[in-house]
Structures are given as C-alpha cells and as structure tokens.
Amino acid sequence: MYLSKKFPVWKVSLASLLLLTTIGCGTQQAAPAGNQPDKKAESQVAQGIELGKNGPITIDFWHIQATIYGDAIKEMVAAFNKEYEGKIIVKEVFQGTYDDLNKKVRASLQGGGLPTVAMSYESDTLEYMKADKIVPLDAYINDPVYGLNKAALDDIMPGVLARQRIPEYNGKTMSWPHGNSSMGVYYNSDLLKKAGYDKPAATWQEFEKMALDITDKSGVPALVMSNANNGGTFRTWLRTYGIDPIALDQSGVNYDNPQALELASMIKNLVDKKAILFAQDTEQEFTNGRAAMEIGTTARTSSKLDLVKDKFKWGVTLIPQGKSGSKVTELYGGNQILFKTTPEKQLAGWLFLKYFAESKAQAIYASKTGYFPATLSAQNTDLLKKNYTDNPQKKQAFDEVFPYARIDVSSAARSKMDTTVGEALQAMTAGKLAPADALKKAQSDATKTLKEFK
C-alpha cells in the first residue's frame, strides 16, 4: 500500500497492520451513490427504519474543537444537515478539552444523556468499551445499502484505518476517522540561519549541539516547551530510538534505559543552559519570535500561518530521531465513536460518521485546519490542491511528517502514565532529581499505574 509514488509504505505498528490486512480488505458490496437506499438491496442495519418518516432524527455530536477547528466542524455539519434535510439533524456541541469531554461522557455513562456521536482517543474508547456503551461499526461498514465498498475503504489512509481496528478492539471496528495530525517541529528559518542551520537537526545527538548554538548566536532559546505535562512528549521521543515505552502486550513499561537517560540528560542540559524555555502558551512564544523552535502537533499549522504572517520565514518538519533504523513520530487526532442509543439514532449517527470521513468533508477539514485528510482522494480535490499551493508549510508537514506517523500502544492507562512520567521529568528540570533518579521514579510510578488499569 502506497500513499503515492513519493511516499513509502505507511508506518503502522506490525500488530495493527496485520489486523488491517486480515479484516480491512474484505469484500463489501458497493454502496449506492447519494443517500437513497438501493431498492434491490436489503439493509441489515436499517430493517424497519425509514429516516424522515416521522420527521427528522436529531442526534448530538460532542467534540473538543473551537476557533478555526470549530468553524470547520460547523461548516461540515451544516453541509451534512443540508444533504440530509428532512431526515437527520446533527447538533454539534463543543465540550471543552478531551479531559472535559471524557468527564462528561463518564457522567453520562452513569446517569444517562449520552450523545449519539463523540470524539474519542483510543484510550477513551477502550474505557467506554468496558462499559459496553459503544457500537461496533462492522455491520454498518459491510451493509449493502449504507456501507462502504472496497474502493471506499482503500481510499482511507492505511494508518488512519488501522487506528479504528487496533488489536485491543478484539477484531472489531470500534471507531471511525475524524482528524489526524502528527508531532512535528516548527522552526524559525531566520533564527536558525543566524546559527548556520537551514533546518532542525535530524538526530537528537545533533539537536543538542544545534540548540546550544542557536541560543548562543540568536540570543533566544532554541526550543519552547509546555510547562505542563511532558510525559507524552517524552514517550514519543523515546520511540524514535526504537524503544516501546509501553510493552505491546501491556505487560510492563520501559522508561529506565540508556536511551531514556540520554534524552533526559539532554533535556536537563538544555534547560540548565537556557536553551529550552518553558511556557504555558508555546505557540505565542514561537510565533512572536521568542523561541527558534516549537515541537507539537501539526494540527496547529493553520494557526501558525495566521499568527506568523510575514514576521519571519518558517517551516515544519519531522522531529529529530534517535538511533533506530526507521523514522517515527506520534499520530495525533481523535477518532469518532457511535454510542448505543436507538436503532434510528445509530443509523443516523453512522451516516454522519461516514460523511465526515469522506473526501468532500475531509478536504474542507484539512483546508481550514492543520489536520491531514483521512482519504487519499481528498488530496486531489481542487479545494485542497489550492490550499496546499497557497500554504506550503501545510504541504511540507504532509510530505515530511505525516508519512512517519503511527499511533503508540493503546492503553486505558496511557494518559495517567504520561502524567506520572511528566511529574518525574518536572522534578528533574526543577533540580529536585538527577536524570537517572527521575527515570527510576518514572519507571516505578508508570508500572504502578499500568497495574491499576489491568
């Protein structure tokens, strides 16, 4: 499977790829064009359901997207509601951060009031699966009337499709694509050139020297990082060494190793020498030229374009790598899940999920935000072609970062483990723990956390 002649095989975990090839490429009957059922086919998921017979079905869609991302959601929902006028009405509801959304879903799991559709990361989906409140999507995908044919499935980026069918889902499709981004490094070309560099270093070993040079010669910190939890960031950086911080079978964690010590020592050295700046709003520091680089989600590429304008030249590329033979970065972005409600709402919810992940909607989403399109064909739409031509940094992120993005091991414990590791690193950068001791604490605390979720 190739993204294009330019892109190598999509980078996904071996387990996910094996699962993808076994259940993702089955034969499905072609779904008819438009939203009118084929009279010759018989739907297996909509028996006795006639959308719009007694007025439109109204469903709630809970999400975490505001600003330009929220604007894109509103446009996509409006387009869907127009296409399904008289049959389905989607009400999009902003619910704050992922943590806020997860808390509201948890409360609804206990007290009722679940939405029909909601954004969800893999760790959250696993939690909701335990409560038996979400609908496996395979029956909808394979439905002869409302489902997807093989060509439609093949159009979805392989790594994106694999996210919906991770091994932990036990052979089922438990979510559907929303938006995808990656961890990349934004760089101020003007500041880098002052120190004699064109782009960020390719390896962490080179990055340490480069960061010190930039700080010394430009007069500003080389890198700005969040002053909040950096456990997830450190986990991704460690993966660039070929280390799985969380075992594939979730039998243990691996934070206390020579590669982790090399990374932690580098961070401590750069902090001590003021080459790393901690800030609450890292984007403000970077876009105002107060830091030469920022490592974060490529979903912020559009906001960078709006904030930087013509202040300085900039780009976005792959994060530095460790000593592993293959390149890797984190695959970000939530998926969407379908909650158990009524057959009518579930069908309406599936049609919305399906619409959201198709090329027309994905082109809108990618053009308005920094997210990458979930489908190959979205890249060929006039809308996205023009957007990438007008905004070369978005095309750069798609070419240089996204091909190497893959999800980490999915675990319901991952979020809390990231927090515990981040706390150990904060103690290290504050001078309370030596790097080696911080990693021992991270290993111990993360191990305890993983056991809590067994």
- Least confident piece of the model among 52-56, 152-156, 403-407: 403-407
Q: List pLDDT tens digits, range 362-385.
A: 999 999 988 999 999 998 999 999
The whole-model pTM stands at 0.81
Q: Alpha-carbon Rg of the chain, whole angstroms? A: 22
Higher pLDDT, 348 or 324: 348
**CA-to-CA dists, residue 142 to 24, 29, 134, 146, 414, angstroms:** 11, 7, 18, 8, 32
- pLDDT of 155 reads 94
In our burial notation (b when 16+ CB lie closer than 10 A, e otherwise), range 118-149 reads bbbbbbbbbbbbeeebbbbbbbbbbbbbbbbb
How far apart are alpha carbons 154 and 319 in whole angstroms? 29
The CATH number fitting domain 181-331+409-452, selected from 3.40.190.10, 3.40.50.720, 3.20.20.70, 3.40.50.620: 3.40.190.10
Q: List pLDDT tens digits, range 189-223.
A: 999 999 999 999 999 999 999 999 999 999 999 99
User: In this model, does residue 12 exceed pLDDT 60?
Assistant: no
Q: What rounded mean pLDDT belongs to the chain?
A: 89
User: In this model, does residue 19 exceed pLDDT 60?
Assistant: no
CATH 1.20.140.10 is right for the domain spanning 14-180+334-380: no
Task: State phi, psi for 352 to the nearest 5 degrees.
Answer: -70, -45
How far apart are alpha carbons 231 and 424 in whole angstroms? 9
User: In this model, does residue 92 exceed pLDDT 70?
Assistant: yes
- Least confident piece of the model among 212-221, 323-332, 442-451: 323-332
How far apart are alpha carbons 348 and 298 in whole angstroms? 31
DSSP state of 92: E
User: In this model, does residue 16 exceed pLDDT 50?
Assistant: no
- pLDDT of 323 reads 81
* pLDDT, mean of residues 138-151: 97
Q: List pLDDT tens digits, range 215-268.
A: 999 999 999 999 777 999 999 999 999 999 999 888 999 999 999 999 999 999
User: In this model, does residue 294 exceed pLDDT 90?
Assistant: yes
DSSP state of 42: -
Q: Start-end ranges of CATH 3.40.190.10 in the chain?
A: 14-180+334-380, 181-331+409-452
